[in-house]
Structures are given as structure tokens and as C-alpha cells.
Amino acid sequence: MNANEKSVGAGLVPAHLAMSEARKAASKGEVPIGAVIVRGDKVIAQAHNMRERKQNALYHAEILAINKACKRLKSWRLDDCVMYVTLEPCQMCMGAITNARIKTVYIGAKSTTDLNWKTEVVFQESEECSKLLKDFFASKR
């Protein structure tokens, strides 16, 4: 076992670790959200919100935990991992969770925030963009 890994079987419950991370966030004036990623019976990553402290919109607990897990496993594919998070993930975080192929997410509290910030999205179809992507993936097959 790596020095940074914690055995879940040793009495550490991932949901409680996520709560501990959330409390760390609160103590720093951050929205109290914590996330823990587990593979098998080992905690491989844990993080809390740091958006205000780092003044970076991407520093959500889930994103930071995914980043740590990817570095630890040397892979962006976390398909044999599960995540414990204290609050229902936002759209950005859920997209990252899905993209990382995390198989299950255990959520401690449902979000009451309306995540529709009225961002205008304009789709401008481009043959050049489509061709670049098609050619790239065709070369991989």
C-alpha cells in the first residue's frame, strides 16, 4: 500500500472522509464540499473546495480529487473507482466524473441550487472542425 493510500477496511469510511474534507473547506471560508475516490478497498484521492482561496472556477472538490486520482494511477481512466461526495455534483463536475469513467458516485446531499446560469450557447457548424475530428479518430482505428 502506498503511503498516500488509506485502507477502507481499516475502519475509515469514505463518506466520513468526504465530510472531513468538507469541514476543511468550511474552515477556510469555502463552500463545504468534500470528495473522496476509492479503488477497491483503498482511498486513492481526497479533496475539498478551493475555488475562493485559489480564485479559480475549476477548483471544485470533485475536480481536484479526480486530478489527484489520475496522477496517482497515471491514467485518466478511473473506471474501477467510485466517488463519495458531500453534495450533488454540478454540471462541470458531473461531466468530469463521467469523462473519467468513474462507475458510481455516492452523494451525501441533494443540491438545491438552480444550475441554469443563462449562458448563451451558439452552435455554428463547421465542416473544418468536423473533418479534423473525423480524421483524427479514423487514424486511431
Give me the mean pLDDT over the 51-64 stretch.
97
Higher pLDDT, 123 or 74: 74
Tens digit of each residue's pLDDT (9 = 90 or more) over 101-135: 999 999 999 988 766 666 667 777 888 999 999 99
Dist CA 108 CA 33 (whole Å): 10
Mean pLDDT, rounded, of the chain: 89
Q: Which of 52, 62, 125, 128 is catalytic?
A: 62
Partner residues linked to 42 by β-bridges = 7, 39
φ/ψ (deg, to 5) at 140: -90, -15
Q: Where are the alpha helices (DSSP H) in 12-126?
A: 14-27, 51-54, 61-73, 91-99
**CA nearest to 61, candidates 111, 103, 97, 13:** 97
- Is 62 labeled as catalytic in the residue annotation? yes
Instruction: Note the pLDDT of residue 78.
Output: 98
Instruction: Note the pLDDT of residue 7.
Output: 55
Res 136 pLDDT > 80: yes
Instruction: Note the pLDDT of residue 8.
Output: 57
